Amino acid sequence: MLALAACSAPPQLDADHGYVRLPAVKGNPAAAYFTLHGGQADATLISVGSTVAIRAEMHESMKSGSMASMKLLGQVAVPAAATVDFAPGGRHVMLFDMNPGIKRGSIVPLVFQFGNGVRFERKAVAIAAGDPPPEE
């Protein structure tokens, strides 16, 4: 009954399953990953930031042959009721000059800002460079 009730609720613009992979080398940027859920109307993610990082950028990883590179994303479309993943090997948020007090297990606040004015904060857990993604 509870599951049915959840499925019939209108979709809501949200982000969950957030985590931040700390850099292997201190001082390098960390990478944030999460899953976006579209609401009842199409939306556009225009920035993701954190109060514990000086600067944050949305990136997309690309691979051509053995060359890996990243491109800067100015915005990311979040269609109504869609699921948009930021995951290793693809889209991610790079966190530059992060507070050195953030350690494995720390909670990192991520602030999501959308073109329609919606803004919310979700918490992400910090994991070490070699850790597997946290269980959902």
The residue nearest Cu ion at its CB is 59
Shortest distance in whole angstroms from residue 71 CB to Cu ion: 9
Asked if 17 is part of the footprint of Cu ion (rule: CB under 5 A), the reply reads no
Residue type, 74: G
Residues written for the chain: 136
Going by C-alpha positions, the residue among 45, 19, 43 that lies closest to residue 32 is 19
Comparison of 70 and 118: residue with beta carbon closer to Cu ion = 70
Binding status of residue 91 toward Cu ion by CB under 5 A: no
**Count of positions on this chain that bind Cu ion (CB under 5 A):** 3
Strand partners, 4: none
DSSP 79-122: -TT-EEEE-TTSEEEEEEEE-TT--TT-EEEEEEEETTS-EEEE
Q: Which of 54, 70, 107, 128 binds Cu ion (CB under 5 A)?
A: 70
Q: Which stretch binds Cu ion (CB under 5 A): 6-14, 90-98, 109-117, 119-127?
A: 90-98
Residue type, 73: L
- From 17-25, 68-76, 82-90, 100-108, give the range in contact with Cu ion by CB under 5 A: 68-76
Q: Is 94 in the site for Cu ion (CB under 5 A)?
A: yes
Is residue 30 a contact partner of residue 95, using CB atoms and an 8 Å limit?
yes
- Least distance (Å) from Cu ion to the CB of residue 59? 3
Dig out the tokens for 43 from the structure.
Answer: 């939306």
Tell me which residues touch Cu ion (CB under 5 A).
59, 70, 94
